[in-house]
């Protein structure tokens, strides 16, 4: 029995947590979701590709109102990880526009979502400012 | 008039806002009867109907409207393309007329959304075991954990991404764009809200998703719009009055997203709009400088800014300067959203893509009353439905 599961299957846990994509072997397009075929070229073969763990925050928003059950406020953003766009929350920083800027350098960070009834811990990910403590 | 052109013969929108005593069918029927009457035709003249409604009647709006205003056995297409549903209904009728299937068609969009709150899909709550589900193998709901899929936040990111690329954006800038539209709405008796708001008031409203406050979000409301389209050939046999008031559909375009890096991570509402605009200008043989007014999809203040650029109303990267120059105000070079836009006129989803065409037609016919843009000859109506679909229609005053 495993004692930890990732929030999504494109988060690889272990000593060096990182994200992976399905990369199209024909055209190099990258996808995070389970694939039927490539949306760019129609190719049907994919290889797992590692995503850079640091990147630049290309855009963000600070969400104050969300669907029921979603804790607010949180910072949602898109991070350019060496050419791969990644959706994620910006974490370990105060959710206030004074502390979040487009262009800021961020890095992948993981956190616990808690344990289930079997004692299995789910691990999520976000991006934290590189200059954070 | 050319035989192979298509014209808007009659068009109508209901008052947008709260209609507690009317259901979606009442609203759709009111707009339909209004459009037929405006065009001087009856339901018996209609050869095809395309209708859209997203807020859930279950059955087809088109057939339900027929059962209220006239069942003639003609083909009905119930269409859905998110916020571009109205434009899709228009486009569907255009294609039927262009294909020679019939000479007169009807497009309808109607919605009941007052008090609907934030639109989006609520995810199922987590269970007591982490079980991977769906196409990401997710063990818990992702909204709020991996970014946001809710509209105010998605479009907030679209606006700030533009700022990241070109600079010059701020919370206050987006509030000023919103203030322009709220100001415009004071002249539109059919708008859901007709109240001017100061930039300070807008910035002081509850923050939905930075930098979009509530006043910078499109207003959920009830409303319907309908249009009767006719072929140029058939219009030739109609009265002088009908010919004079008919508005030429100089371009009718729908596009979806071509694949681009990152487009599945954050919707790219820019490329498909640029593609639609380029094709529409080519079809119509006009350039952005020729436009006397534009109704664009300001579902959020952050969206309006990027569409100045996407519709090529300014040089690439120049949307902030375009706004600062005063160009998109009603007395500016290219008035944008003189109806009040989605932020103030309101956004009854499926009606929006026909209501914005109604607004343009109203000006081209010289019937817009106190908010008339003088000597308007050419106008453009634009919508985006996430997923995505972009609809662009260019309308021209009849010669």
pLDDT tens for B11-55 read: 999 999 999 999 999 999 999 999 999 999 999 999 999 999 998
Residue B132: asked if its preceding bond is cis (omega within 30°), the reply is no
Residues 6+ apart with CB under 8 A from B143: A66, A67, A70, B120, B123, B149, B150
Name the residue among B141, B156, B265 with its Cβ closest to that of A61.
B156
In this prediction, residues B327-348 reach a mean pLDDT of 98
pLDDT for residue A123: 97
What confidence category does residue A66 fall into, taking pLDDT thresholds of 50, 70 and 90?
A: confident
Name the residue among B135, B145, B164 with its Cβ closest to that of A33.
B135
pLDDT for residue A1: 54
Instruction: Give the count of Cβ contacts less than 8 A between chain A and B.
Output: 162
Q: Mind giving me the DSSP string for B206-226?
A: PEEEETEEGGGBPPP-BEEEE
Q: Which of B50, B48, B72 is nearest to B61 (CA)?
A: B50
Whether A118 and B139 lie within 8 Å, measured CB to CB: no
pLDDT tens digits for range B73-122: 999 999 999 999 999 999 999 999 999 999 999 999 999 998 776 665 55
What mean pLDDT, rounded, does chain B reach? 95
Whether B144 and A118 lie within 8 Å, measured CB to CB: no
ipTM over 0.90: yes
pLDDT tens digits for range B139-178: 999 999 999 999 999 999 999 999 999 999 999 999 999 9
Whether B143 and A66 lie within 8 Å, measured CB to CB: yes
Reply yes or no on whether the pLDDT at B352 is more than 80. Answer: yes
Residue B360: asked if its preceding bond is cis (omega within 30°), the reply is no
Q: Which residues of B touch A42 (CB under 8 A)?
A: none
In this prediction, residues B180-191 reach a mean pLDDT of 98
Q: How far apart are the CA of B165 and the nearest CA of chain A, in angstroms? A: 9
Two structure tokens written together for A14 = 């272990």
Q: Are strands B48-52 and B104-111 parallel, antiparallel or unpaired?
A: parallel
Name the residue among B137, B141, B209 with its Cβ closest to that of A63.
B209
pLDDT tens digits for range B216-241: 999 899 999 999 999 999 999 999 99
Q: How far apart are the CA of A40 and the nearest CA of chain B, in angstroms? A: 5
Reply yes or no on whether the pLDDT at B335 is more than 90. Answer: yes
pLDDT for residue B271: 97
Measured CA to CA, the distance from residue B188 to residue B191 in angstroms comes to: 6
Which burial class, exposed, middle or buried, applies to B100 when counting CB atoms under 10 A from its CB (0-12, 13-18, 19+)? exposed
Measured CA to CA, the distance from residue B352 to residue B339 in angstroms comes to: 12
Buried b (16+ CB within 10 A) or exposed e, A104-117: bebebbbeebeebe
Residues 6+ apart with CB under 8 A from B357: B8, B11, B90, B225, B227, B295, B381, B393, B395
Closest Cα in chain A to B211: A61
Q: Mind giving me the DSSP string for B271-337?
A: HHHHHHHHHHHHHHT--GGG-SEEE---SBHHHHHHHHHHTTSSSTT-HHHHHHTTTTSTTSSS-B-
pLDDT for residue A133: 47
Q: Which of A66-80, A97-111, B302-316 has the lowest mean pLDDT?
A: A66-80
pLDDT for residue B197: 98
Name the residue among B139, B207, B209 with its Cβ closest to that of A122.
B139
- Backbone torsion region of residue B58, taken as left when φ is above 0, otherwise alpha when ψ lies between -120 and 50, otherwise beta: left
| Cβ atoms of residues A21 and A32 within 8 Å | yes
Is B261 an interface residue toward A (CB < 8 Å)?
yes
> Residue B125's CB: how many other CB atoms inside 10 A?
9
Two structure tokens written together for A51 = 């995503």
Q: Could you give the domains of chain B?
A: 6-115+219-393 (3.40.47.10)
Q: Which residues of A touch B145 (CB under 8 A)?
A: 7, 89, 113, 124
- Contact map slice: B 165-184 vs A, CB within 8 A: 171
Name the residue among B207, B259, B265 with its Cβ closest to that of A29.
B259
Taking CA atoms, B221 is separated from B16, B115, B133, in Å, by 6, 7, 35
Measured CA to CA, the distance from residue B332 to residue B72 in angstroms comes to: 47
| Cβ atoms of residues A60 and A100 within 8 Å | yes
Which residues partner with A125 through β-bridges? A110
Task: Name the strand (E) or helix (H) holding A40.
Answer: none
Two structure tokens written together for B350 = 């499926």
pLDDT for residue B123: 57
pLDDT for residue B255: 98
Q: Which residues of A touch B135 (CB under 8 A)?
A: 33-34
Reply yes or no on whether the pLDDT at A2 is more than 90. Answer: no
What confidence category does residue A128 fall into, taking pLDDT thresholds of 50, 70 and 90?
A: very high
Reply yes or no on whether the pLDDT at B2 is more than 90. Answer: no
Q: Which of B395, B296, B391, B396 is nearest to B86 (CA)?
A: B391
Q: Which residues of B touch A123 (CB under 8 A)?
A: none
Measured CA to CA, the distance from residue B197 to residue B182 in angstroms comes to: 6
pLDDT for residue A68: 82
Is B271 an interface residue toward A (CB < 8 Å)?
no
pLDDT tens digits for range A89-127: 999 999 999 999 999 999 999 999 999 999 999 999 999
Two structure tokens written together for B183 = 């100001």
What confidence category does residue B57 fall into, taking pLDDT thresholds of 50, 70 and 90?
A: low
| Intra-chain end-to-end CA distance of chain A, in Å | 34
Is B124 an interface residue toward A (CB < 8 Å)?
no
3-state secondary structure of B174: helix
- Higher local confidence (pLDDT), A1 or B175: B175
Q: Mind giving me the DSSP string for B51-96?
A: EE--S--SS-HHHHHHHHH------EEE--BTBTHHHHHHHHHHHH
Q: How far apart are the CA of B8 and the nearest CA of chain A, in angstroms? A: 37
Q: Which of A68-72, B130-134, B218-222, B277-281 has the lowest mean pLDDT?
A: A68-72
Whether B122 and A97 lie within 8 Å, measured CB to CB: no
| Cβ atoms of residues B226 and B31 within 8 Å | yes
pLDDT tens digits for range A5-57: 999 999 999 999 999 999 999 999 999 999 999 999 999 999 999 999 999 99
pLDDT for residue B58: 66
Measured CA to CA, the distance from residue B294 to residue B327 in angstroms comes to: 11
């Amino acid at each position: 029995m495993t004692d930890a599961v990732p929030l999504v299957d494109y988060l690889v846990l272990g000593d060096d947590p990182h994200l992976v994509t399905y990369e199209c072997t024909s055209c190099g397009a990258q996808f995070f979701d389970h694939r039927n075929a490539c949306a760019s070229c129609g190719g049907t073969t994919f290889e797992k590709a590692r995503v850079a763990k640091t990147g630049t925050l290309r855009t963000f928003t600070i969400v104050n109102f969300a669907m029921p059950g979603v804790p607010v406020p949180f910072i949602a953003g898109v991070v350019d990880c060496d050419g791969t766009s990644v959706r994620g929350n910006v974490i370990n920083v105060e959710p206030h526009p004074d502390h979040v800027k487009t262009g800021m350098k961020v890095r992948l960070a993981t956190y616990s979502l808690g344990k289930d009834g079997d004692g299995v811990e789910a691990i999520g990910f976000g991006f934290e400012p590189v200059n954070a403590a | 008039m050319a035989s192979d052109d298509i014209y808007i013969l009659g068009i109508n929108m209901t008052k947008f806002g709260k209609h507690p005593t009317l259901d979606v069918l009442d609203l759709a029927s009111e707009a339909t009867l209004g459009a037929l009457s405006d065009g001087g035709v009856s339901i018996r003249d209609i050869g095809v109907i395309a209708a859209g409604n997203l807020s859930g009647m279950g059955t087809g709006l088109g057939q339900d409207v027929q059962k209220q205003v006239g069942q003639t056995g003609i083909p009905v297409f119930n269409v859905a393309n998110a916020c571009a549903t109205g434009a899709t209904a228009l486009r569907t009728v255009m294609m039927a007329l262009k294909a020679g299937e019939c000479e007169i068609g009807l497009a309808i969009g109607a919605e009941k959304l007052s008090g609907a709150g934030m639109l989006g899909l609520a995810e199922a709550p987590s269970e007591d075991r982490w079980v991977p589900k769906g196409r990401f193998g997710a063990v818990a709901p992702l909204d709020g954990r991996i970014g946001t899929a809710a509209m105010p936040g998605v479009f907030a990111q679209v606006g700030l991404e533009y700022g990241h690329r070109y600079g010059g954006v701020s919370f206050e800038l987006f509030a000023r764009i919103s203030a322009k539209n709220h100001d415009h709405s004071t002249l539109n008796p059919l708008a859901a809200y007709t109240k001017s708001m100061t930039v300070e008031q807008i910035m002081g409203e509850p923050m939905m998703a930075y930098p979009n406050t509530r006043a910078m979000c499109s207003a959920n409301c009830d409303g319907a719009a309908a249009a009767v389209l006719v072929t140029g050939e058939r219009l030739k046999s109609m009265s002088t009055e009908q010919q004079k008031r008919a508005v030429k559909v100089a371009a009718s375009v729908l596009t979806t997203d071509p694949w681009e890096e990152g487009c599945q991570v954050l919707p790219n509402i820019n490329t498909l709009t640029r593609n639609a605009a380029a094709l529409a200008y080519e079809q119509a043989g006009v350039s952005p400088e020729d436009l006397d007014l534009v109704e664009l999809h300001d579902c959020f203040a952050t969206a309006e800014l990027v569409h100045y650029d996407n519709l090529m109303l300014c040089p690439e990267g120049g949307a902030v300067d375009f706004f600062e120059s005063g160009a998109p105000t009603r007395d500016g070079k290219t008035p944008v959203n003189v109806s009040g836009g989605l932020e103030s006129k309101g956004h009854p989803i499926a009606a929006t893509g026909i209501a914005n065409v109604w607004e343009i037609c109203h000006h081209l016919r010289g019937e817009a009353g106190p908010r008339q843009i003088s000597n308007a000859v050419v106008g453009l109506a634009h919508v985006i439905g996430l997923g995505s679909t972009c609809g662009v229609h260019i309308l021209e005053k009849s010669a």
